[in-house]
Amino acid sequence: MEIEKAIEIVLQENKNVLAKVEKKTLEKFIKAILSAKRIFLAGEGRSGFIAKAFAMRLMQLGFNVYVAGETITPGIQKGDLLVACSGSGETEVTFHMAEVSRMYGAKVIALTANINSVLVNVSDLVVGIPAPYRGKFKVCPGSKQCGGSLFEQALFLVLEVIVFVLMRRLKKSPHELQRLHTKLE
């Protein structure tokens, strides 16, 4: 396959998925971020990497944000928000973090492709990302890409859209975000 064709396929698949994401749900997600005392991000594997990228952008926007599972992460409590990312919605660690967050009175928002998952059952809001995800020992149809790549790409793009909208609403410039970019690299 030629590179141009591969680019076309990846872009078109993502465009198709993003067109199906509920815009009203994204507005509720933004409101939850703006009203949270602190924001915690959770996810495993590639979804976890994307969650960390979102945490970095939220920090650069001035939010009090943590990555769940890190040794310096404080205890979650009432008034906090957990954003849980899982294509399958069945990832045990992510589900457990959502359960514990609810137990301590925090709100939980799930970003998942599987709206019938255990993660959805313990979430206050679900951002459905209708993309194939890699289930246990099987590859899901609906994408020419491997594994859960389409879900992960769409997850990243959805979260970047949230950052872009927050940036505009908070009247933050790219320069202001850059000021909070790490200097220790």
DSSP bridge partners of 81: 39, 107
DSSP bridge partners of 184: none
Quote the CA–CA distance of 85 and 30 in Å, as a whole number: 16
Name the nearest CA neighbour of 18 among 131, 126, 167. 131
- For residue 50 the two structure tokens come to 């994307």
The one catalytic residue among 8, 27, 44, 152? 152
Phi, psi at residue 116, to the nearest 5°?
-110, 30
Q: Indicate the SS3 state at residue 184.
A: coil
Residue 152 falls in the annotated catalytic set: yes
Buried b (16+ CB within 10 A) or exposed e, 31-52: ebbeebebbbbbbbbbbbebbe
Give CA separation, 120 vs 65, 104, 153, 177, in Å. 22, 18, 20, 32
Catalytic residues: 152
